[in-house]
Amino acid sequence: MQMTHQTPRVRLDRRTAGELDADLVVVPAFERDTFADVPGLAQASGGEVLAARDRGAFSGKPFESLVVGSQGGGWRTPRAVLVGAGPAASCTTDVLRRVAITGALVARQQRFRRVAVLVRPGTAVPPAEAAQAVAEGVTIANYDGAPLKTADHDPVWLEEAAIAGLGDGEALAAAVARGVVLGEATNQARTLANEPGNLLTPRIFAERGAALATAAGLGVEILDEARIAELRMGLLLSIAQGSHEPPRLLVLRHEPAGAVSNITLGLIGKGITFDTGGISIKPAENMDKMKDDMSGGAAVIAAMSAIARLKLPVRCIGLVPMTENMPGGLAIKPGDVVTSAEGKTVEILNTDAEGRLVLGDALWYARQLGATHLVDLATLTGACVVALGKTTTGLFGRPQTWVDAVLDATKRAGDRAWPMPIFDDYKELLKSEIADFTNTGGRAGGAITGALFIKEFAGDLPWVHLDIAGTAWAEDAKPYQPKGATGVGVRTLVQLAMAAPGWAGAKTA
Ligand code: BES
Ligand code: MN
Ligand code: ZN
């Protein structure tokens, strides 16, 4: 198998656009742009930039692009790519990140290895945020989703990326370094989530996660089926029993000296390496996509690794319950009742509602290990895709202060999310005649009842559930997002850990 991603050397560059020495300069272009702050661009392109605008070939609409020659005005770099960034006034950090991805992807398509990204004045984005976002963008662009092709596939990798227009200095350099780590982590998660189910079984997923985590300096433990049974994790075991592949529970620990006192962030990711639905089997159409049903787990592994690399001063525990969901002679059946590690009983009405089951035992275990604040990430429900579509993650939780802290993190990360209600009324839908509750509440409010099931295992802790069923996988290629796994949630979790002193209301020990 070939490589899926490489990290370019990213640095700040003080030179003007004309002096930059690269294969391609990426220039964000705003709507009705005159490029007054980019001296020489009009001449450099031999008038092509303004001519294209006048004939309506390029208007600066978000993420459209136009490659022009740039030596006419004596630019050192022979070509520029203009990337639409919309109106300057509404150009956010998120837009800038996507502009950088788009420009860097154009560079790779044209088989260039050295880019420079020009950050222009006129937007409200603070310089450090811009530096980090562009560093994230060029790193995220250095990803290849087809490492299993053996013919007619020869990806070009970016080797160098300069960020111009911001100046330099220690704070900006630190922002660039952070951005590179966040971009790399996003790519690690994408690599795992793109992996076919036969090549990423629970045992292999655990090994791969452990290797990434060890390299990042995390504490790592893999609980096997015997240990999982000892802990009486009846929910995780009930899903695993239908498969020949044994389950795993990956436990990652970040315990830095001098951490913010009194808090331990618990991150839990759904790790179903393939979801057939079990005996409540899914239709054949699109079932192949269910290899990405471990995207939440991949995000937790990648985020924990980034948190360790960045040496963030906050204790974190990462938990990923890993199993296949298969039909088979030993599989659980609709109507079966199983007992969770916490002792709660569940009537399984639909074996395809497996994510909430494996997460239930994992949330309980996070509490046993001392977590004080919980976030879980899961490709949990088709209902969430119906409600919010493919670009917005469903966010559920309590109390409001914790919901707000996570929501803020999603904004800084560029992972769009929207709050959903978890009113107690919905709990009735999970009522069982014979057990504490069922595992499905029917079609109405399906994303909400899924969240309410998980909430049963959060105890009294602040808890947020992110339903990434729609956002984990891109069906249509966009200029800034090729088809396949997106790495959604990775940067959110790291941004949340970065903001810990704020939401913890605690002092550093
Ligand atoms: N992994 C699926 C959810 C999913 C569906 C993710 C589509 C991505 C795209 C999950 O395990 C599932 O099957 N959920 C069921 C729940 C239902 C049986 C209550 C669903 O959404 O249909
Ligand atoms: Mn399912
Ligand atoms: Zn699933």
pLDDT digits (tens, 9 = 90+) for 137-181: 999 999 999 999 999 999 999 999 999 999 999 999 999 999 999
Mean pLDDT, rounded, for 347-366: 98
Beta strands 160-164; 248-254: pairing state: unpaired
Mean pLDDT, rounded, for 258-267: 94
User: For residue 504, what pLDDT is reported?
Assistant: 86
Mean pLDDT, rounded, for 450-479: 98
Which one-letter amino acid corresponds to residue 294? M
- Closest-lying ligand 1 atom to the alpha carbon of residue 381: 21
**Which residue, judged by its Cα, is nearest atom 14 of ligand 1?**
381
Q: Which tokens belong to 313?
A: 């001063």
- Whose tokens are 């006129």? That residue is 122
User: For residue 509, what pLDDT is reported?
Assistant: 37
pLDDT of residue 508 exceeding 50: no
**Is the CB of 350 within 6 Å of ligand 1?**
yes
69-73, 238-242, 496-500: which range is least confident on average?
Answer: 69-73
Mean pLDDT, rounded, for 426-435: 96
User: Please, which residues have CB within 8 angstroms of residue 172's CB and are 6 or more apart in sequence?
Assistant: 12, 127, 128, 131, 166
Q: Residues within 5 Å of ion ligand 2 by Cβ?
A: 275, 352, 354
How many beta carbons lie within 10 A of that of residue 427, not counting itself? Answer: 17
Phi, psi for residue 484 in degrees, rounded to 5: 115, -160
- Measured over the CA atoms of residue 168, residue 172, residue 175 and residue 179, the dihedral's sign is negative
Share of the chain above pLDDT 70, in %: 99
Q: What's the gap in Å between 272 CA and the centre of ligand 3?
A: 6
Report the residue among 295, 381, 429 best suited for mutation to probe ligand 1: largest number of ligand atoms under 8 A from its CB. 381
Q: What's the gap in Å between 352 CA and the centre of ligand 1?
A: 7
Radius of gyration of the chain from its Cα atoms, rounded to whole angstroms? 24
d(CA 490, CA 447): 21
Q: Which residue has the higher pLDDT, 71 or 334?
A: 334
Mean pLDDT, rounded, for 104-109: 98
User: For residue 97, what pLDDT is reported?
Assistant: 98
Report the residue among 380, 385, 439 best suited for mutation to probe ligand 1: largest number of ligand atoms under 8 A from its CB. 380
User: For residue 128, what pLDDT is reported?
Assistant: 98
Active site residue 311: no
Q: Please, what is the angle between helix 202-216 and helix 295-309, to 10°? A: 10
- Of the candidates 426, 424, 422, 393, the one whose C-alpha atom is nearest the C-alpha of residue 409 is 393
**Is the CB of 440 within 6 Å of ligand 1?**
yes
d(CA 34, CA 54): 11
User: For residue 507, what pLDDT is reported?
Assistant: 38
- Of the candidates 348, 239, 238, the one whose C-alpha atom is nearest the C-alpha of residue 294 is 239
pLDDT of residue 506 exceeding 60: no
**Is the CB of 486 within 6 Å of ligand 1?**
no
User: For residue 261, what pLDDT is reported?
Assistant: 84
> What's the pLDDT tens digit per position in 223-253?
999 999 999 999 999 999 999 999 999 999 9
Confidence of residue 72 (pLDDT cuts 50, 70, 90): confident
**Is the CB of 293 within 6 Å of ligand 1?**
yes
- Closest-lying ligand 1 atom to the alpha carbon of residue 280: 18
**Which residue, judged by its Cα, is nearest atom 8 of ligand 1?**
469
Mean pLDDT score of the chain, rounded to an integer?
Answer: 96
Of these residues, 113, 282, 289, 416, which one is catalytic?
Answer: 282
End-to-end CA distance of the chain: 46
Bridge partners, residue 248, by sequence: 322
Share of the chain above pLDDT 90, in %: 94
Q: What's the gap in Å between 243 CA and the centre of ligand 1?
A: 19
**Is the CB of 275 within 6 Å of ligand 1?**
yes
Entry pTM: 0.97
Contact 464, 451 (CB under 8 A): no
**Is the CB of 451 within 6 Å of ligand 1?**
no
Active site residue 253: no
